[in-house]
Amino acid sequence: MWLKRRKRENRRLMPIRDQKDPARGVFTRRALLCMAVQAGAMGELARRLYHIQINDGDHYARMAANNRVSKRLLAPPRGRIVDRYGIALANNKENWRALLMPEETTDVAGTIERFSTLIPLDERDRNRIAREMRHQRRFVPVMLRDFLSWDEMARIELNAPSLPGVLIDVGTRRVYPEGELLAHIIGYVAPPNENDVAHSTLLALPGMRVGRAGIEQNQDEKLRGTAGSVEMEVNAVGRVISELNREEGVPGEEISLTIDRGLQQRVLNHIGDQTASAVVLDCHNGEVLAMVSTPSFDPSLFDSGVSHAQWIEWTNNQHTPLINKAVAGVYPPGSTFKPAVAMAALESGLISPTDRVFCPGHLDVGGTRFHCWSRWGHGSVDLHLALKYSCDVYFYEIARRIGMDRIAETAHRMGLGVPLDIELPHTRTGLIPTPAWRQAHHHHWNGGDTIVSGIGQGFIQVTPLQLATYTARMATGRAVQPHLMRAINGEISPMASAEHWPSLNMPEKYLEALRAGMFAVVNEPHGTAPKAQLDLPGITMAGKTGSAQVRHVSRALRESGHFNSANLPWEYRPHALFICFAPYDAPRYAVSVVIEHGNAGADAAAPLARNIMRDTLLRDPSNHTTPPPESVAAVDDSFE
């Protein structure tokens, strides 16, 4: 007993450190467990750091750089359009613009509103911006305003801290140094619409333009080029700090036209303020050397946007300045059509050049009288005299003999009433009617339709370009096609070679008979176009007059002897036409002229065609590689 009590007392007297704590083992196990967890976590962290820094280091470095670097595409410069001598007809000029990078601002709407307090945005601008924001990705910049002035740029830069995502950029605008002179040929550009962007994402870039008329539209894809890119260093709020790298886009291709700018200007000077069109063609290869349509318009207005008032003025103008009359204006050819009728008759074998027809001043068929332009008639005439005097009765009669189908077939081969595939949009084909065409429109073709077609009236419609092509084909006997493209990036088109074009397969003796008749029109006594004679030594020209009625003149009025179409209101007067080629003995150039409501081809169109041909011969663009001096074509216009 005593021993047990003694042991108990000794245990009470032992130091605390020598006493056994039952919880001590539990604490040690927990510490070990925590240490193990901490070691595992540190190991996993080390593994992740190794993976991020070593394995994925390049990836995250790129991501970090992307947060610092803003990269965007640049619209490429549009290709130039030049004339045959390299003179710029459509070019680019730098301008300043304000862009918005949507991905660099958290409040796009607020940024646009703050911008509009500095640079006013009209309803059209706001609608365009909203449309682009809906249809473009956030990394594609949206143009807020183009064509900024220095004052406007200063206001934007001064308020840059409150305009996150807005930057000033250098763009280009399309300029047309010749203005109205070549508007119908060159065309114009305008901002792309939704359909354009849907077909090509390149067009979503600010500053991109789409061709809407002329060569700009026809060759749009060649002129666009390839986009470039620019990398810019930005700060935390997206403001540009510096430009790091720039790769310029590849400009569009340079297109060289067949046009002689100097000759184009001379033709326009001769036409003046008349509503007219004129085409000058190289007979050998079909190159269009000049193509004028008046009145015209300023194509540069479309790049920045045409005002509503200007559009209304253009569309309400009865002289139709927006229409290229040379390819889209259709007119009855009048007597200029007679050589085609003659060729159809000659090839058919139903007449020969020496066969004669008597003209008493009219032709009676059934109960209808068809009048010759001369009330007194021309007497007995063969082909040569019929062309020289432009005798209507002769061509009434041969048209009646051969029928309309043969006339149409020959006219088509000579370039009338068929597509000519020139490099211009919105061209018209015209019409050479046939009985089948008339019946397809649920009408009967009668003999009178054929007779009036013999003098280029009735349903026949042609364009001035077709008339020039028709003249060139008569002059050379080759199926030349008119074209405007001479070279792309300096590479000459094969169409520039005369050997490129096949023969018409028309007998040369018949073609010569037509040419001789057209020579008589201009150069022999009592021809219908003495005012078309050239005053160039040793050079003569062949041509054919035409007057095309635009309203019916009653038989009673014709026979009264008091009718004078010159006294009619302008819009009721006949169109005046003239076609010609020169030099006569070695044809090189063909010209067609149509003066709307000019009344008489012999008085109005023939002198104009003479002056145009004279300038063409003096400049001789087809045989020059550099622009001739303007003094070469300094024509004394006093005799006009």
Would you name the residues annotated as active-site residues?
335
Axis-axis angle for helices 404-413, 338-348 (nearest 10): 110
Strands 81-82 and 255-257: parallel
Sign of CA dihedral 533, 538, 544, 546: negative
How far from 340 is each of 408, 580, 593, CA to CA, in Å? 9, 14, 18
DSSP annotation string for 488-510 = ETTEE-GGGSGGGSPB----HHH
How far from 121 is each of 113, 147, 304, 384, CA to CA, in Å? 9, 13, 14, 69
Tokens of 575: 């169109």
Please answer whether residues 407 and 344 qualify as being in contact, where contact means their C-beta atoms are separated by less than 8 angstroms: yes
How far from 150 is each of 153, 156, 168, 486, CA to CA, in Å? 5, 10, 11, 40
Please answer whether residues 578 and 518 qualify as being in contact, where contact means their C-beta atoms are separated by less than 8 angstroms: no
Is 32 exposed, middle or buried (CB count within 10 Å of its CB: 0-12, 13-18, 19+)?
A: exposed
Strands 240-247 and 228-234: antiparallel
Instruction: List b or e across 250-277, with b for residues whose CB sees 16 or more CB atoms inside 10 angstroms.
Output: ebbbbbbbbbbbbbbbbbbebbeebbbb
Peptide bond into 574 cis (omega under 30): no
Q: Phi then psi for 390, rounded to 5 degrees? A: 55, 50
Strands 491-492 and 81-82: unpaired
Inter-residue long-range contacts of 505-509, CB under 8 Å, 24+ positions, other chains counted: 506/343, 506/347, 506/413, 506/477, 507/346, 507/347, 508/477
CB atoms within 10 A of CB 464: 29
Distance separating the N- and C-terminal Cα atoms of the chain = 159
- What's the chain's Rg over C-alpha atoms? 40
H helix or E strand, kind and range, residue 551 = none
Residue tagged 């002897």 (tokens): 561
Is 243 exposed, middle or buried (CB count within 10 Å of its CB: 0-12, 13-18, 19+)?
A: exposed
Whole-angstrom Cα distance, residue 473 to residue 485? 20
Please answer whether residues 478 and 492 qualify as being in contact, where contact means their C-beta atoms are separated by less than 8 angstroms: no
Q: Which residues pair with 156 in a beta bridge?
A: none
